[in-house]
Structure formats: structure tokens, C-alpha cells
Amino acid sequence: MIKNIAVMGSTGSIGTQTLDVIEAYPEKFKAGVLAANRSWQKLAEQALKFRPKAVALGDEAFLPQLKGALNGTGIKIYIGQDGVIEAASLKENDVVVSALVGVAGLKPTVAALEAGKPIALANKETLVVGGEIVTGLAKSKGLPLLPVDSEHSAIFQCLQGQPEKSLKRILLTASGGPFRKTPKEDLASMTAAQALQHPTWNMGAKITVDSASLMNKGFEVLEAMHLFEVKMEQIEVWVHPQSIVHSMVEFCDGSVLAQVGRPDMRTPIQYALGWPDRLSKSWETLRISDCRNLTFEKPRLDDFP
């Protein structure tokens, strides 16, 4: 059966990479809904290429332009924040990818869960601000929250098939960002352009800047607490500049499992869309030579509080 995927935030970094995965598996996935906030031109281009049943645009000011671009296609247009929420909860959706930026992702995610839709979660702010609400709703509905963040996908993968209550702690990795070695006295003079030069990942602007300050890792600690029902003291953050080990899990017997791979977001996206199956495509093959010099260091908590 082909899964209809609703991509909430289709014009952003995660959204466009989700469409790469959908395009690579036309026999398994179809883009059923595409949603964006303001990027009407990119949304229109995607709609003309993927021919979803519907699109949603959060900013009503650009409705005339979007209507003109999609005239004659038969693609239904939902408009405004209420329209985005309605599109996320359409009965035809089989999986909803929550990739809208910031707190804007919370209400569509909740609406999709209330409609009984599994969530592929890329929007960590949804759990940062609404953790118990979202996880409680998913549990009450018997729905999976499938993490798309590479770190949380790694933890999720390591926990598959493991006995309940066997998790002891999570070792959450961080790249350290572009300012990992910048002296403390120079941090205040760093520019936005410098913050956007991430050494290993190709991501959207907000998450890249949050990564430069390690704020993103703070969000991910909170996300992990909610997703995996652990206490904060069960999570350790380690800076791993090579971004090969995406995270590790220690079990009650002292065994540690790690999930490793090249830094490519399409891999965890593909895992979430295909779950519980693993799909055959490898976006970037990991070579043993990539693992020769893996390092781990403690984060500079005083400099990146």
C-alpha cells in the first residue's frame, strides 16, 4: 500500500529532504499534503511537481499568488493557521511529518494526533513546549511518535526490540557547531553569517544558529526526556565533532549500543517513513575509514550555558 504523507513544512530543510525520500520511493510514498507558512513560490513549485491532493499556506497575504500558480490543477488550497491545522488532520493522511519551524508546529501536530495520524516528528519545539500533552495524546491514541532528529532517531533505533525498563542512560551527541573552539572572549563578536557555517550538517537557518549556541542541544535534551520517558540526570551530552555517532544508549547491564552513519538527514527521515521496515536505499554509505578518528569531549557548559 502506498502511504500518503502530509509534509507540514515542506519548503524547509527537513521538508525538502522528505520530498527527496518520497521521490525515491514512488511505489511506497505519495506526497498527499504540502504545507508552508510564507514560501508560496516554493510551495507552488513543489505542488506542481508532486501533485498532492492539497496544500496549505499559513500566511493569508500570499493566497492570490498561490491560487494563480495552481489555477487549473485541482489541488485544494487551505489557508491560514486554521487551514494548516485542518490539512494536518485530513483523513487521507497516513503519516504526518511535523517539520514546521518553532512553536507553529504544535497545534497541527496535536490536531493530527487527535485525528489518529502517526507523527514523524522533526519539530522539537512541539515537545519542548507541549511535551506531556503531545506524548500523553499519542499514548492514549496508541500512535507512534517517530523521531526524525538524527540523535533521537538513533536512540529510537537502539531501543527497538530491547526489554522494557532496561534503559539506563542516553548518551546524546552534539557536533559542537562552528564555535566549538572559539575562545570565550570572542563569542560575543561572532556574526550570523559565521553561525550559519555548520561544519558537518546542512540544515535550515534556525536550527543551524541554535546549533551554534548549543541551544538546539538543550531542546534535544528536553525532547529526549519526553520521547523516551527518562529523567534529565539519565541524559549525558557529549560533543562529537565528526557527526558519525548519532547517539548512544547504555543499558542496565552496562552494554552500550550506538547508531552510526554519515551526516545525512534523509536517512532518519527514511527510517521514520518506512517504520517498522527498513528500506533499501542508502543515501551516503559509511566507510570504515570514516570511523578511524572519532572523538568525544565534554561540552563547554560555562561558555554555552
**Which pLDDT score is estimated for 94?**
97
**Which pLDDT score is estimated for 174?**
95
- pLDDT tens for each residue of the chain, 305 residues long: 899 999 999 999 999 999 999 999 999 999 999 999 999 999 999 999 999 999 999 999 999 999 999 999 999 999 999 999 999 999 999 999 999 988 888 999 999 999 999 999 998 899 999 999 999 999 999 999 999 999 999 999 999 999 989 999 999 999 999 999 999 999 999 999 999 998 888 778 888 899 999 999 999 999 999 999 999 999 999 999 999 999 999 999 999 999 999 999 999 999 999 999 999 977 888 999 999 999 999 999 999 98
**Which pLDDT score is estimated for 275?**
96
pTM: predicted TM-score of the whole model, two decimal places: 0.92
CA atoms of 61 and 66, how far apart (whole Å): 10
**Which pLDDT score is estimated for 303?**
93
Widest Cα–Cα separation across the chain: 62
DSSP letter string over 241-270?
A: TT--EEEEEEETTS-EEEEE--S-THHHHH
In which element (H, E) is residue 260 found? strand 256-260
CA atoms of 105 and 19, how far apart (whole Å): 18
For domain 3-148, the CATH class is alpha beta
Pair 20, 273: CB distance under 8 Å = no
Q: Which three cell numbers stand for residue 141?
A: 491514541
> Any idea where the domains of the chain sit in the sequence?
3-148, 152-263+285-291
CA atoms of 30 and 151, how far apart (whole Å): 26
| Cis peptide bond N-terminal to 163, omega within 30 | no
Q: Which three cell numbers stand for residue 299?
A: 561540552
Report which of 116, 73, 69 is spatially closest to residue 57, judged by C-alpha positions.
Answer: 69
**Which pLDDT score is estimated for 61?**
95
Pair 175, 214: CB distance under 8 Å = no
As beta bridge partners, residue 37 has none
Report which of 267, 245, 269 is spatially closest to residue 258, judged by C-alpha positions.
Answer: 245
Q: Which positions ≥6 away from 42 have C-beta within 8 Å?
A: 11, 36
**Which pLDDT score is estimated for 19?**
98
Q: Which three cell numbers stand for residue 170?
A: 542516553
CA atoms of 217 and 128, how far apart (whole Å): 12
Within 161-258, residue ranges assigned H as helices are 192-195, 205-213, 215-228
Dihedral through CA 271, CA 170, CA 263, CA 273, nearest 10?
10
CA atoms of 27 and 4, how far apart (whole Å): 11
**Which pLDDT score is estimated for 281?**
78
**Which pLDDT score is estimated for 93?**
97
**Which pLDDT score is estimated for 285?**
87
Report which of 123, 163, 145, 160 is spatially closest to residue 259, judged by C-alpha positions.
Answer: 160
